[in-house]
Amino acid sequence: MKIEQIYTGCLAQGAYYIQSGNEAVIIDPLREVDSYVTKAKENDATIKYIFETHFHADFVSGHVDLAKKTGAQIVFGPTATTVFDSHIGKDGEIFEVGAVKIKLLHTPGHTMESSTFLLLDEEGKEKAIFSGDTLFIGDVGRPDLAVKSDLTEEDLAGHLYESLRYKIMTLPDDVVVYPAHGAGSACGKNMSSETWDTLGNQKKTNYALRADMTKEEFVKEVTEGILPPPQYFAKNAMMNKSGYESIDKVMKTGTVALDVEIFEAMANHEGALVLDTRHQSEFVKAHIPNSIFIGIDGSFAPWVGALITDLKQPIIFLADAGREEEVVTRLSRVGYDHTLGYLKGGIASWIAAGKETDSLASITPQEFESRLSESKLQILDVRKPGEYGAEHVDQAVTFPLDFINTHMSEVSADKQYYLYCAGGYRSVIASSILKSRGIHDLVNVELGFKGISQTGIKTTDFVCPSTIK
């Protein structure tokens, strides 16, 4: 038997490859599926099942494409409905894979169809669980994403409590927990950076598995401090229920090299959004006016999903040479399938063609300290509310990037703003959005709060984020 965790750090997402004999299964595949097909082929195996722990909200799963390419059966948990061919499993149903078995445990709570898949080895021993968003390392799934008129987040949290107590915590302590996400995902609020653990250790360390915890205490704790979900979550879940465009077609359309004139015409006359995916330092020096920066080397896809509100928005982009396919792939993972191509030759070809460029003022933390000592500045802290609450520059106003679209009325084109984040990535994203909306007098603080903390700039007293309500 072979168990492989395929962890994608930029999405904080874990997919799984399990093989026994000549049969394999994939659990929670990412949108691009050729690597799974190749892996099975290299191991002389046939992919028999594609298990989906739930209708993922934070990425588009590759189940539909993978089923078409392999003939494997898609399996969802009880209560799921799909418009494509799939098997809706029953609680306790057994699936045979080579010499091992996989048992479906219906574990509603994060969503009502949420299921955990229990792996039984060749001797029938309970070996591992693939827990989706039911149980994370250090946390459990948020219970507010599947709220309906007849189902509150407290109702869902109650279901989650019972799923954990009666389906998961009764399993042996040496069972290995393989979750769908880790730290950085918005599907929980306190996830560990570890990507697996034993169930016994989670019973000791995970706040939500505390042995003496009542249902009322559980509901209160898991529903407190949840930030509103990113706007794309519901849209990705709907794509996972209803199907989507072939990834091969998305890649073919999105990786077209566009010369300067066509690129400009698409931006000016077809309403295509210009997305700059280079490093923030390159964007600061020179970029196409009104383009939006979201660097490929940060949490690219989640930020695209959070900030570009229309999944059908036509997108054209700038990328470092050789990374064009990567950009289109990562856009497709969160449902942005309308990418129309990239600027051939990058910003150099734009400049060589005599086209206008813009730049962003950027200063070191030391220069920021100097200017602060001389005058009062308008300072925007674009980190998450929890980061701001923990510690921030004394004069700074919270202006979280996550919710920038709903806070635009708080800034004025007549004022100058200094922006900082944690390390200098999010502040450039925020600056690009503000500039595209006509707010141009901006100064980015390089290295963000990390750099600021090395200066004498006055900050608020530190408060541990876990104590912030």
320-351: pLDDT as tens digits: 999 999 999 999 999 999 999 999 999 999 99
Tokens 């901006």 sit on residue = 442
For residue 466, the model assigns a pLDDT of: 55
Residue 44: band (very low, low, confident or very high) from pLDDT cuts 50, 70, 90: very high
For residue 192, the model assigns a pLDDT of: 85
Q: Does the structure show a pLDDT above 60 at 468?
A: no
At 51 the three-state DSSP class reads strand
Best CA proximity match to 423, nearest among 321, 308, 297, 314: 297
Considering the chain, what percentage of its residues have pLDDT values greater than 90? 90
- Mean pLDDT (the chain) is 95
Beta sheet of 292-293, edge-to-edge order = 257-258, 339-343, 315-318, 273-276, 292-293
Pairwise CA distance, residues 327 & 308, whole Å: 15
Q: Does the structure show a pLDDT above 80 at 439?
A: yes
At 312 the three-state DSSP class reads coil
Residue with the larger pLDDT of the pair 464 and 422: 422
Q: Find the range with the poorest average confidence among 129-138, 216-225, 450-459, 460-469.
A: 460-469
Contacts of 198 (CB under 8 A, 6+ apart): 173, 174, 175, 176, 177
Considering the chain, what percentage of its residues have pLDDT values greater than 70? 99
Could you tell me if 87 and 52 are in contact, meaning their C-beta atoms sit under 8 angstroms apart? Answer: no
For residue 462, the model assigns a pLDDT of: 81
Tokens 């979201």 sit on residue = 294
Q: Does the structure show a pLDDT above 80 at 465?
A: no
Residue 70: band (very low, low, confident or very high) from pLDDT cuts 50, 70, 90: very high
Could you tell me if 85 and 68 are in contact, meaning their C-beta atoms sit under 8 angstroms apart? Answer: no
Best CA proximity match to 185, nearest among 7, 427, 444, 308: 7
Cα torsion 335, 438, 434, 300: sign: positive
Quick check: pTM over 0.85?
yes
For residue 230, the model assigns a pLDDT of: 86
Q: Find the range with the poorest average confidence among 302-311, 361-370, 413-422.
A: 302-311
Tokens of 329: 């792939």
**Beta-bridge partners for 284:** none
Burial class (CB in 10 A: 0-12, 13-18, 19+), 307: buried
Q: Does the structure show a pLDDT above 70 at 360?
A: yes
Best CA proximity match to 151, nearest among 109, 94, 180: 109
For residue 87, the model assigns a pLDDT of: 98
For residue 73, the model assigns a pLDDT of: 98
